[in-house]
Amino acid sequence: MPTSVGVVGMGYVGLTLTAALARKGFVVHGVDVQPTVIDQLNHGKPHIFEPGVAEAFREHVGSSIFVAADLPKSGVDVAVICVSTPVDEHTYRPNLTNLAASARFVAEQCAPGTLVVVRSTVPVGTTRRVVLPALREAWGDNVRLVMAPERTIQGQALRELVELPQVVGGLDDASRDAGLAFFGGLAHELVPVSNLETAEMVKLSNNCHTDLIYSYGNEIALISERHGLDPLEVIRAANLNYPRPDLAKPGYVGGGCLSKDPYIMIDSAGDREPFLVGRARALNEFLPTHVATTVVDRIRAVRGSTQGARLSVLGWAYKGWPPTDDMRGTPIATMMPVFAEAGLTVLGHDPMVTDDVIRQYGGLPVSLDKAFSESDAVLVINDHPDYRALNIDSVLGANRPAIIYDSWRILDESAIAAAGVQYGGIGYVGRGGAGVPA
């Protein structure tokens, strides 16, 4: 089993893989281009939150985890490319600059025949088209190349890196066998596939399917809203003891993967645009704007004007459970222009997100109690456990908001309505307060 591993890119994928490998006994050499990231990690202080990662770094840094701008001159048995592959915010085309640069870096710093693993999410055909030429130019035919997609969920990455089946596709049989031997030291179950492209397609298929599932829940919510129905009642009744796949509840769909991987899938389709993937992504991207507009309309209906109104937003990270501080694909980024145009002052609270980040997005940090006592309306965006545990009677004092929009329907609707406060959620008109049906 290979024992020395180079991980190129200390973003979320590389960071969690480094921690998981070190816990399994590998010696891991992490590489990053940012001096501050290198310094933080070498002091055992990860720059990204993920349960268990900080503990792993504190335990192993300096003994089996080393982070630098280069790989060791003695070489590594395996080099894993984990760099970001963003999509352009205007064209939505994948930007593969980091991947190409990393392939050249590995070719220069590693010996011919080193097992190279691509872990970044890429359009189908990219590993062969972008990574392979750089390796062959430097190493000739002595190339062992594998595509092994990362498929973990934030908040459970260290467990899932071990427990989830690991898909491995190789340039050839020798590459695939080497990849299987490597990941056999990490994952409980291995799934060999016939080539690089199949492994690339697996990752895109998983994530785009998730986006599609969630979009259908959001579609149900938007149609229910038009008819004054409760989408959660519809979904609960549809799912109860029914043997077909469950319908998903409505909600925001963000994060580093789901907000970009559908565009990578679309790019993979070439000039034959997919029927479903793009429409599902468009619907999920429309939802935050729809909610923001709905909240603005409700404030205007109560106050007569939105100018100068104060809106408290609870939950700035893209999701609340499992808890994360990740702002990639966060709904608030889409909502803030709507709130700014309406003249709202936006107060912000999130147990995981720093005050500086809230300010960067245009919010004013606020404590949880003041979020309810010093605002005209409260918008709950994510379902962090702190919000699920809120006691409505204790937070609604003499000074209370007129509106609470509970995106995930985690608060006590009856208590909110009894306090004379308007309540609503995604696709749900709600009850209580002036002008809202009880």
φ, ψ at 341 (rounded to 5°): -65, -30
CATH of the domain at 11: 3.40.50.720
Residue percentage of the chain with pLDDT more than 90: 96
For the CA atoms of the chain, what is the radius of gyration? 24
**Same domain flag for 272 and 321:** yes
What value does the mean pLDDT take over residues 351-361? 97
Query: pLDDT grade, residue 433 (50/70/90)?
Result: low
**Same domain flag for 124 and 240:** no
Domain end call among 133, 162, 194: 194
Query: What was the pLDDT predicted at 431?
Result: 66
**Same domain flag for 244 and 162:** no
DSSP state of 61: B
Domain end call among 163, 194, 225: 194
pLDDT at 436 over 90: no
Tens-digit pLDDT profile for residues 237-283:
999 999 998 999 999 999 989 999 999 999 999 999 999 999 999 99
Tens-digit pLDDT profile for residues 206-241:
999 999 999 999 999 999 999 999 999 999 999 999
Residue percentage of the chain with pLDDT more than 70: 98
Tens-digit pLDDT profile for residues 114-152:
999 999 999 999 999 999 999 999 999 999 999 999 999
**Same domain flag for 187 and 222:** no
pLDDT at 155 over 70: yes
Distance in angstroms (rounded) separating the CA atoms of residues 180 and 167: 9
Number of alpha carbons in the 13 Å side-chain half-sphere of residue 20:
26
What value does the mean pLDDT take over residues 154-173? 97
Q: In what order do the strands lie in the sheet with 27-31?
A: 65-68, 27-31, 4-8, 78-81, 115-118, 144-147, 166-170, 190-193
- Helix %, strand %, coil % of the chain (to 5): 45, 15, 40
Average pLDDT score over the chain: 95
What value does the mean pLDDT take over residues 69-84? 96
**Same domain flag for 190 and 266:** no
**Same domain flag for 303 and 406:** yes
**Same domain flag for 359 and 215:** yes
Q: Is 274 in contact with 211 (CB distance < 8 Å)?
A: no
pLDDT at 435 over 90: no
Q: Is 200 in contact with 126 (CB distance < 8 Å)?
A: yes
**Same domain flag for 107 and 255:** no
Query: pLDDT grade, residue 430 (50/70/90)?
Result: confident
What value does the mean pLDDT take over residues 73-90? 95
pLDDT at 437 over 50: no
Q: Name the domain count of the chain.
A: 2
**Same domain flag for 332 and 246:** yes
pLDDT at 363 over 60: yes
Q: Is 290 in contact with 118 (CB distance < 8 Å)?
A: no
Q: Which tokens sit at 147?
A: 């595509």
User: By residue range, what is the domain housing residue 116?
Assistant: 4-194
**Same domain flag for 153 and 203:** no
Q: Is 311 in contact with 346 (CB distance < 8 Å)?
A: yes
Domain end call among 163, 179, 194: 194
**Same domain flag for 185 and 231:** no
**Same domain flag for 318 and 390:** yes
User: In sequence order, what are the residues at sequence separation of 6 or more whose Cβ sits closer than 8 angstroms to the Cβ of residue 87?
Assistant: 93, 94, 95, 260, 263, 264
Could you tell me the end-to-end alpha-carbon distance of the chain, in angstroms, rounded to an integer? 65
